[in-house]
Every structure is written in structure tokens, then in C-alpha cells.
Amino acid sequence: MDAVKAFLIGIGVLLVGLVGVTIYLFIPKEPDPVETKSAGGGIVLPPECEDGTRPCGRGQQCVEGFCMRWDPPACGKDQPCSDKCTCEGNFKCDAERVCRVQAPSADEVCKDPRVVAAVKRLAEECPGGDLKACKPDEWAKFVMKEGRFDELIANFPDKITIHFDIGFPRTDTSWPPDRDIEAHYLEGLRKHRAALERAEVIFVIGRASPIGNWHMNRDLAFRRMNAADLLIAQALQPENAGGIKQSELDAKLKAINDKLKHAALGQDRPLNLGFFTQHYGKNIVLWSQEQQERLGRALALGEQGDVIAEKEKAWAFATLNQVAIVVPVPCGGAR
């Protein structure tokens, strides 16, 4: 009996040993610490990450072999947004993956007391107090006699200024004169597509610098309004226009045209640099990136109170008045 008992105990010990060996061989283990080669001795842990082969999780970055919390820097205005930077504050990453200022909603705009007061005054002489019902001649007369017109439309946050080179558009050549100019205008306008699409009314005000005679500048103002109309229609064209029936495209174009309210001021009541910078200088669109940056620098210098060279100041004054001002209004007055 004692022999049997001893045999069973031996078998049990053997099984326990086999289980232990199995666990040791097949269960994953942390790697042994590696001895440091530093003068002070001690040990260091093996790296837990390697760039490209063993990346860290979301919100972390591999720093000297260890995963550390990483807060990406802020993307700048109009800069591409990606995993390497984030849009902060009033900026958001739009559909084009670019950081841009988040525009207020139509409801927020229409509740702004300044917008409410502006719409009320602008619609006073329209049938039923509704801007959408204003006839072209009624609207044109109002614009010419209202001395505070520029201050009124300055209250709308989504206004865009489309600037033209001196004498353009011309009557003896087609417009735009080349595809690069057209593409640059459209790129600038498409940034404001949402505001243009949600608008109930779109003001288009044609202006000209005081260079030249009054009649020539009034004609220029009309041509600039027509050019702006064309650009707006192109900017709002569906991206898949090729797959849409012509009748649907025509209906969309008519809906856009029905929103437009025009006024040609020509060289009358020119805008000065200070007023333009304060009220209109945020959404400028010129015929090239170089000229857009040039006007932007002049506006920035004026805003900071710095001295602007006389030649550059004269160019900026002329250019900011060679313009079609486009003002999307999300509320027409009658509610």
C-alpha cells in the first residue's frame, strides 16, 4: 500500500512539473531587461515602439522608443488640415480639408441685431417689406439715394469682394481673358459656396475707381456686375454637372439669377482704404494670387497704422474700388 501511495505521489509531482514547463515554454513573457551601457549602471526597458514598424496608438507619438501623449499643433488659416495638425477656435476642417473660419449659421446671422436693422432698412421700399420682391428700378433708386448704403451692407458677415484689373472687363476682348484668371476667381468664390447657396438674396454692387470719366466708369461697373454674375453661376454649378439633365441645370441657374439684386455705383461714393479694411477686407478675390497678396499686404499695413508707399497706396485705392461687391443675405425681410 505504501508503494502504491508513493507511486501516485510521484506521478502527481511529475504532472505538476510538466504543467510548469509547458507554461514556461508557451506563455508569452515580457523580455528581460537589457543592461545599460551608461557609466552609472542600472537597466533600461526595451523600446515599446518604433517609427514605421511598431507605431503608437491614436493621440500618441513615438519618442525615443516610448509612446508619449502628443497634441498636434494648430493648422493656420487656409492651411491643409491632416493628422499632423488640427483646426482650433473658430476654424474648422472643411470638405476640401482646409482650415477655414466657421461661418455662422443662417439663423445666427438673421438674429444678429445689426443684420435685422440692416434688412429692415434695405427692405423698407420693397413690396411687403421683402427684399426678394424688390423690382430692379426700385432697388437701384434706393441704392443711389441711401447715403448709408455701404454701412448697411457691411453688416452682413459673408460679403465677398471681386476685384478687377484697371479697365477690365473690356469690351473688345472676351472675359475672363485666360483660364488661369478664371480658375483663380472661381477658387476664391467656391470657398463661400455655402453662404451663396443658402442666401435668399444676393446683392451685387458694381464699382469703379475715379480714374477716367464718369460714363466710362459706369459702364465698367455694369460689366463687373455681369462678370460677377457669371462667376457666381459657375462657382455654384454642381461638380457632377455632366451627369445632370440640361433642364435641371437651367432651373438651377434661374434660381440663382432670381436671387441677384444689382446696383451700379460706378465712381460715385468711392471707398477709402480705412473703411474698406474695417468692413470689407476679409474675403477679397483678385485675378491672381500675386495681386491678391499685394492687396492683402496693403490692407494689413493700413490696419496696423503703418506707412504705405504712395505708389502702393494709390494702387490699393484704385484696386479696392475696381470691384463687384457680392453680399449673400440669408434673410429677405418678410417672415
For residue 32, which amino acid is it? D
- Predicted confidence at residue 87, as pLDDT, reads 80
pTM, two decimals, is 0.71
The Cα 93–Cα 176 span in angstroms is 31
Please name which of 257, 149, 137, 261 lies closest in space to residue 202, comparing C-alpha atoms: 261
First to last CA, the chain: 105
- Predicted confidence at residue 311, as pLDDT, reads 92
Instruction: For the chain, list the domains and their CATH numbers.
Output: 103-238+245-329 (3.30.1330.60)
According to DSSP, the residues that pair with 327 across neighbouring strands are 203
The Cα 95–Cα 98 span in angstroms is 7
The single-letter DSSP state of residue 219 is: H
Mean pLDDT by groups of 10 residues along the chain of 335 residues:
59 58 53 47 67 73 79 75 74 76 77 90 87 86 88 92 95 88 94 91 94 93 95 84 72 86 93 91 94 92 80 94 95 67
| The three three-digit cell numbers of residue 302, written as one number | 493700413
- Predicted confidence at residue 313, as pLDDT, reads 92
